[in-house]
Structure 1
Amino acid sequence: MLDTPHKSKSYADGKILQEITGGIGVITFNNPDKRNAMSLAMWEGLGLALTELRDDPDVRVVILTGAGDKAFVSGADISQFEKERHNAQASEEYSRRSAAQRALLADYPKPTIACIRGFCLGGGMLVAMLADIRIAADDSQFGIPAAKLGIAYGYDGLKHLVSLVGPSWARLLMYTGMRIDASEALRIGLVERVLPDGELWNATMEIARAISHNAPLAIKAAKITIAQVLKDSGDRDMAAIKDIGIACMDSEDFREGRRAFMEKRKPQFQGR
């Protein structure tokens, strides 16, 4: 796999950028003048970018990142609130129009990594929490200021927050609207790794490359099984776990993995 960009596109009037580098898809929130605040058009552009990368067989993993050095995503674009979220009915319509994109990221079949520098607030926290893995710069800041704006943070966001940091920290963050720094975020389990800003991108790419070189079906099996583990026992799809396990054991990749081990070489996995 080459590490040079070979496909690039933009959506939402250039505020969502997409490129593919050696089997790694990168989606950039490109609204730096507003600290990458998310508009409804950006949510819809995110959905288009995610769908294209999902359907590209050459893409093994997707990184989400923010343009510039000030923010990953600083939240929703509050300048749109007066027009699009001024009351309960308008807010419901806004949520309905962005729900498909949130669900797409939540149930994404390929591994996703949030590469976070600067502000990761509100809706940005939701995007980061929907990713599989969060890697942050040591100067990043996290928070959900919903209580300071008088809005209710949705069920999906709070479900993910509680699953990552537990109910007590979720309450503290939500009740106060406080911001925490990267070291605190690491300590409570909100992010998985914290690195100096200058090392963040290379470290993120290193993890993405490691994932992209592993067997896609085995990674899919882990992703499916972990998602089922997090559900209540009565809601788990054990058949899906069994099916992906069988697919792995019957795959050409499993045979290639065995051969590569015996031949003391790196395996070349094809995802089938």
Structure 2
Amino acid sequence: MLNIPKSQTEKSFADGKILQKISDGIGIVTFNNPGKRNAMSLDMWEGLGQSLIELRDDPDVRVVILTGAGDKAFVSGADISQFEKTRHNAEASEQYSRRSAAQRALLADYPKPTIACIRGFCLGGGMQVAMLADIRFASDNSQFGIPAAKLGIAYGYDGLRNLVSLVGPSWARLIMYTGMRIDAAEALRIGLVDRLLPDAVLWDATMEIAKTIAANAPLAIKAAKITIAQVLKDPAARDFDAIKDIGTACMDSEDFREGRRAFMEKRKPVFKGK
């Protein structure tokens, strides 16, 4: 089990299937449906969005970690038991996609750093969530896959764009055409995850990185996030004004002055995000 520390704030959404905690400037969102290996229902997608908005708007939160409850899964995919009601044909599936699209877009454009802490199964919709995070850490018992071809459904443009950007078109084809499972070592090798850790130390290692990020200058991190996002866009769609504006904000910030002073005084800087 993950040893998630007690926090200053604890909340739940989607009838307790999405849990939110805040600890030392780190927001922790937990997919809490362990009886179904954290399979995502529509209400969980909507609860995820509510939680992310609250953490986004909390000035004390600097990093967000996404993780799954229990020891079996991050998110094992969509809740297939809902499909007969919510995704039984093209029209119903389109309505389902519209209801979850806002949450996916929110995570895709999230202004704060996000880390997916993955153990166990990360499949289908779980892969979509993980790929939208900035950073992916996985335990050595993780398994990955997108079984859309085994269910007869299309995965969608955004999910496949993210998959191709991480693993390249050939591996994306292999994953999608076969619906195969990929073990943790293979996921690391092809670039699907960024760091592979023994299960026993996964959470502590994730928190260590989150604390490091939280202690750094928020505007500088925001600048990096904005600029990397623009690099990944087609050249004609890049917003160089946004890059220039955040660069100017950094150079004029109190945090830049604090960073200079701390360096000269040989002490750890205390950044305020302004």
TM-score (norm 1): 0.99
SS in 2 for 1:64: strand
Match of 1:72 in 2: 74
Q: Which of 105, 108, 133 in structure 2 is aligned with 1:106? A: 108
Match of 2:97 in 1: 95
CA drift of 1:181 comes to: 0.4
Q: Does 1:206 align with 2:204?
A: no
Aligned residues of 1:62 and 1:112 also touching (Cα < 8 A):
yes
Instruction: Please give the alpha-carbon distance, in whole angstroms, between the structure 2 residues aligned to 1:232 and 1:117.
Output: 33
The Cα RMSD (Å) is 0.6
Instruction: Please give the alpha-carbon distance, in whole angstroms, between the structure 1 residues aligned to 2:10 and 2:223.
Output: 29
Q: Which of 212, 215, 218 in structure 1 is aligned with 2:217? A: 215
Write out aligned runs for 1:17-96 (5 A). 17-96=19-98
Provide, for residues 214-247 of structure 1, a one-character-per-residue CA deviation record: whole Å limited to 9, x for no partner: 0000000000000000000000000000000000
Provide, for residues 53-88 of structure 1, a one-character-per-residue CA deviation record: whole Å limited to 9, x for no partner: 000000000000000000000000000000000000
Instruction: Please give the alpha-carbon distance, in whole angstroms, between the structure 1 residues aligned to 2:7 and 2:84.
Output: 39
CA drift of 1:207 comes to: 0.4
Instruction: Please give the alpha-carbon distance, in whole angstroms, between the structure 2 residues aligned to 1:149 and 1:131.
Output: 25
Instruction: Please give the alpha-carbon distance, in whole angstroms, between the structure 2 residues aligned to 1:98 and 1:35.
Output: 19
Aligned residues of 1:38 and 1:76 also touching (Cα < 8 A):
yes
Instruction: Please give the alpha-carbon distance, in whole angstroms, between the structure 2 residues aligned to 1:190 and 1:249.
Output: 34
Instruction: Please give the alpha-carbon distance, in whole angstroms, between the structure 2 residues aligned to 1:138 and 1:117.
Output: 8
Write out aligned runs for 1:132-147 (5 A). 132-147=134-149
Instruction: Please give the alpha-carbon distance, in whole angstroms, between the structure 1 residues aligned to 2:183 and 2:216.
Output: 33
Q: Does 1:188 align with 2:190?
A: yes
In the alignment, residue 120 of structure 1 is paired with which amino acid? C
Structure 2 residue runs without a partner (length 5+): none
In the alignment, residue 209 of structure 1 is paired with which amino acid? K
Provide, for residues 37-67 of structure 1, a one-character-per-residue CA deviation record: whole Å limited to 9, x for no partner: 0000000000000000000000000000000
Q: Which of 251, 254, 257 in structure 2 is aligned with 1:255? A: 257
Match of 1:5 in 2: 7
Instruction: Please give the alpha-carbon distance, in whole angstroms, between the structure 1 residues aligned to 2:266 and 2:56.
Output: 32
Give me the identity figure in percent: 83
CA drift of 1:147 comes to: 0.2
Q: Which of 102, 118, 127 in structure 2 is aligned with 1:116? A: 118
Q: Which of 238, 241, 244 in structure 2 is aligned with 1:239? A: 241
Structure 1 residue runs without a partner (length 5+): none
In the alignment, residue 35 of structure 1 is paired with which amino acid? R
SS in 1 for 2:163: helix
Aligned residues of 1:4 and 1:22 also touching (Cα < 8 A):
no
Match of 1:148 in 2: 150
Q: Which of 259, 266, 269 in structure 1 is aligned with 2:271? A: 269
Matched residue count:
270
Instruction: Please give the alpha-carbon distance, in whole angstroms, between the structure 1 residues aligned to 2:260 and 2:6.
Output: 30
Q: Which of 143, 161, 164 in structure 2 is aligned with 1:162? A: 164
Instruction: Please give the alpha-carbon distance, in whole angstroms, between the structure 2 residues aligned to 1:155 and 1:11.
Output: 28
CA drift of 1:4 comes to: 4.8
SS in 2 for 1:5: coil
In the alignment, residue 83 of structure 2 is paired with which amino acid? F
Instruction: Please give the alpha-carbon distance, in whole angstroms, between the structure 1 residues aligned to 2:229 and 2:64.
Output: 18
Instruction: Please give the alpha-carbon distance, in whole angstroms, between the structure 1 residues aligned to 2:183 and 2:149.
Output: 19
